[in-house]
């Protein structure tokens, strides 16, 4: 077998964006995946730059997200190396640089009846001592990269734009709830204000509450989560 051809068909990177055209402030989700059917050690030697975007990391290498996927009838191990949510800051065309990965692939000259394993790290191979190849095996080095990804960011329409608009783009739902409906004089209560939905939460600030006469409000505690 041709070693490089075998690696090319059985070990590769993919980058996927949920959209490549959006408006300023509209979130874009980008996922980097490693597909493998080989015994390999992979090292991320270059992470992509996200120029023109605010970046929110959702899944990283440390989360060890592993699944399987069939491609052309072959089952691959699929590692999510990185998943980010990007918020474009201004209109224009922006390029997400390639991610570059260096691989050391183990080939065996004898039949192996065990599941192949992949190890992925960042900045671990350069300068580190190589593990000796096992009996009947050889190590082949290889480098691969994702394609560059172009995101076209359109300006927001100026028509009917509110004067106090703060660039929070998306679909949001606002709800309020009192923990207790009745309070005695000088008793503390809690008002829970919840904003949920899909969009640019980075630009959202806690809403202003106009407390009724005779009631004193204190600074809010803000918590957020991304699913």
pLDDT in tens, 147-188: 999 999 999 988 988 888 877 888 899 999 999 999 999 999
Q: 122 is written with which tokens?
A: 């960042």
Q: Residue 40: what are its φ and ψ, rounded to 5°?
A: -150, 160
pTM equals 0.77
pLDDT-derived band of residue 40, with 50, 70 and 90 as boundaries? confident
The region, left, alpha or beta by phi > 0 then psi within -120 to 50, assigned to residue 25 is left
Lowest pLDDT segment from 111-120, 136-145, 187-196: 111-120
Count of C-beta atoms within a 10 Å radius of residue 120: 19
What pLDDT was estimated at residue 64? 86
Count how many Cα atoms sit within 13 Å of the Cα of residue 30 in the half-sphere of its side chain: 27
What pLDDT was estimated at residue 127? 44
Mean of the per-residue pLDDT values of the chain: 86
Nearest-angstrom CA–CA distance, 118 and 131: 14
Nearest-angstrom CA–CA distance, 52 and 86: 9
What pLDDT was estimated at residue 5? 84
What pLDDT was estimated at residue 17? 95
pLDDT-derived band of residue 206, with 50, 70 and 90 as boundaries? confident
């Amino acid at each position: 077998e041709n070693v490089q051809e075998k690696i090319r068909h059985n070990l590769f990177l993919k980058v996927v964006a949920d959209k490549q055209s959006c408006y300023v402030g509209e979130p874009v989700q980008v996922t980097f995946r490693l597909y493998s059917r080989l015994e390999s050690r992979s090292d991320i030697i270059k992470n992509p730059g996200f120029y023109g975007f605010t970046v929110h990391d959702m899944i990283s290498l440390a989360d060890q997200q592993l699944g399987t996927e069939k491609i052309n009838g072959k089952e691959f191990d699929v590692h999510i190396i990185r998943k980010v949510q990007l918020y474009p800051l201004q209109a224009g065309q922006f390029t997400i640089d390639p991610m570059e990965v260096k691989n050391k692939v183990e080939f065996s000259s004898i039949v192996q009846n065990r599941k192949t394993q992949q190890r992925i790290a960042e900045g671990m191979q350069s300068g580190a001592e190589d593990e000796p190849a096992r009996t009947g095996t050889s190590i082949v080095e290889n480098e691969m990269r994702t394609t560059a990804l172009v995101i076209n960011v359109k300006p927001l329409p100026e028509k009917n734009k509110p004067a106090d608009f703060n660039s929070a783009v998306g679909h949001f739902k606002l709800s309020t709830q009192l923990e207790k409906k009745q309070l005695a004089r000088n008793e503390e209560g809690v008002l829970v204000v919840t904003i949920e939905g899909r969009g640019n939460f980075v630009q959202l600030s806690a809403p202003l509450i106009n407390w009724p006469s005779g009631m004193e409000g204190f600074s809010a505690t803000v918590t957020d989560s991304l699913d």
